[in-house]
Amino acid sequence: MQRVDGVLRKILFILLGLISIYWLYWSVRYMFTDVFPIMSRALFLSVITVLIIIGFMFYTPLKALMIRTSKFLYTYRYWVISILFVIQVIVSLFAQAIANGDATVLYKVATNTPLGGAGVAKYFSVNSNNFLIAVFFKMINRLVTAKYTMLAVSILNAVFIDVGILLLTSLSKQLKDEKLAQIVFLESFFLFGLQPQFLYFYSDPITFFLMSLLCYLVIKNRERSGFIRWFIIGVIFSIAYQVRMPVFVYLIALVVVYIYQLIFSNAIKNFKKTAVKSLFVVMGIVAMSAGVEYYAQHQHFAEYDKKYTRSLLYYVDLGLTDTGSNHYALPQNILYPETAEKFATKAYLAPQIKADIKKRLSEYGLSGLIRHQSTKFKLFVQDGSLGWTVERVLQEPNVIPTKLTKSKLGQKIRDIVYVGRPYYANYALYMQFVWIIVVFGLVKYFKKYKHVSDTELVLQLVLFGGILFLSLFEAGRSRYLIQFLPAIILLSSFGYQKKKID
């Protein structure tokens, strides 16, 4: 059995190693094909020249300085996060705008702005996954009024991101030591802390926080029993799942590793203890899910009927479009199921979606499907801005007019954080550079096979499961990786820790 155990672990390790190399290739290529071309050529050449000169002349002292700086930032991480939060609040004050897409509907629902059209009226019936986040935004609106709802959500998003970074850092210290915690803090701070994602009126920052919190709680309490703590973990997972469904990959990874332990190790002696904890988690999930469903069926601010909810087959069909997320490439009767003042149900649309999936698979053929999956993978891993560049959710015409947003400073700030503005390319270059560093950490981690802890195996399965999920369903931009950032950052940091850091 030990031999089978080793073979299975090695297959997963090698597979993820090959994926990470391919991931790194597309991330580097994206820098040179999409980021640098929109920068000033003179600036680009100057930066490269200066970096090469500094690297050759000052490698040893520069390395020592970087290590001291890293230790300093980690040692005073609470002050660093506090300064980051102040910057985020300032940016929020000067750059708030109504985002495009789903965020527009959520904002209007939260602020009780009238909606029109059958498709919009049935928004939560079709997109039931966005119902809970809408309830959360409505609660904020009730506390601060519509005038400040956008600002309040932006500041709360900043809190979610910053606390999530601290949770991941604390978790990594528990897993190994302060060296790992230092790397995790730096990666998460520079990758996600300095992103503009907190400005987005959507669920990504909340999902990052919830998954960081869940990872922290599960690791901290893995040797402890007790109804309340594991019931709460189940409740939190239910909230996370209803905000962003793909997070169920984390739970599946945990279950798979536990079954794996039963088969290949002596974990059977802890079966009763684990089974009781699992039961409490399931009770928390069921209780929270039932509560939300009951409220959804009895509230009056929006129509909610799950017989209209888009099925998983819809997202498989969507995943087969040219980018993996191009809704407009779907047949009109599937994309707009309202005809003759009637709205098609999920059951009614199922045969049509299945037919469209078969048609797309037939048109692709085996070689075409492989090329499509390669392109789709490229699109959801390459962009270091985590989808900000592609989505362009904030635009100047949608800025919320205030004295601060109308000021010259507001204009300057938006010139940096808004896609297409004069200085955004430089900002995108920074984000891409950090992304490449994080992905390179994954390559280092998977460079040479080693027998790892069960916790690392769970993280590997989360990464693999996340990639598999996005390959099967809707993807097309790197924003979908935010929900898996805790696993990505931890594995990347493990990679860098293999090299001694004095």
Q: Residues 77-86: pLDDT tens digits?
A: 999 999 999 9
The pLDDT score that the predictor gives to residue 502 is 34
The pLDDT score that the predictor gives to residue 15 is 95
The pLDDT score that the predictor gives to residue 500 is 42
404 exposure class (CB count in 10 Å sphere: 0-12, 13-18, 19+): middle
Q: Residue 223 — φ and ψ, nearest 5°?
A: -100, 5
Three-class SS of 292-341: HHHHHHHCCCCCCCHHHCCCHHHHHHHHCCCCCCCHHHCCHHHHCCEECC
The pLDDT score that the predictor gives to residue 142 is 93
Q: Residue 336 — φ and ψ, nearest 5°?
A: -120, 85
Instruction: Give the C-alpha separation, 2 to 265, whole Å.
Output: 9
Segment 246-261 shows an average pLDDT of 90
The pLDDT score that the predictor gives to residue 501 is 37
The pLDDT score that the predictor gives to residue 235 is 96
Residue count of the chain, please give it. Answer: 502
Q: Residue 331 — φ and ψ, nearest 5°?
A: -55, 145
Which of 54-63, 232-241, 253-262, 318-327 has the least mean pLDDT?
Answer: 54-63
Strands 338-339 and 342-343, how do they pair?
A: antiparallel
Determine the Cα angle at 224 with ends 219 and 226, to 5°: 120
DSSP assignment letter at 399: B
DSSP assignment letter at 343: E
The pLDDT score that the predictor gives to residue 112 is 87
Instruction: Give the C-alpha separation, 343 to 348, whole Å.
Output: 10
Please check the confidence at residue 224 and state whether its pLDDT lies above 90.
no
Instruction: Give the C-alpha separation, 47 to 499, whole Å.
Output: 28
Segment 251-265 shows an average pLDDT of 85
Contact 478, 176 (CB under 8 A): no
End-to-end CA separation in angstroms for the chain: 39
Report if pTM > 0.85. Answer: yes
CA distances, 243 to each of 122, 238, 361, 379 (Å):
18, 9, 30, 23
Higher pLDDT, 383 or 56: 383
Instruction: Give the C-alpha separation, 501 to 484, whole Å.
Output: 26
Structure tokens at 209: 């926080």
**Side-chain-side CA neighbours of residue 238 (13 Å):** 20
Please check the confidence at residue 268 and state whether its pLDDT lies above 60.
no
Higher pLDDT, 118 or 306: 306
Three-class SS of 126-139: HCHHHHHHHHHHHH
Q: Report the candidate in 154, 152, 131 with the shortest Cα–Cα distance to residue 141.
A: 152
Residue % of the chain over a pLDDT of 70: 91
Buried b (16+ CB within 10 A) or exposed e, 15-43: ebbebbeebbebbbebbeebbbeeeeeee
Structure tokens at 275: 């089974």
Contact 7, 264 (CB under 8 A): no
Instruction: Give the C-alpha separation, 395 to 399, whole Å.
Output: 7
Please check the confidence at residue 259 and state whether its pLDDT lies above 80.
yes
Q: Report the candidate in 267, 164, 187 with the shortest Cα–Cα distance to residue 222.
A: 267
Please check the confidence at residue 39 and state whether its pLDDT lies above 70.
no
Please check the confidence at residue 338 and state whether its pLDDT lies above 50.
yes
Residue % of the chain over a pLDDT of 90: 58
The pLDDT score that the predictor gives to residue 116 is 64
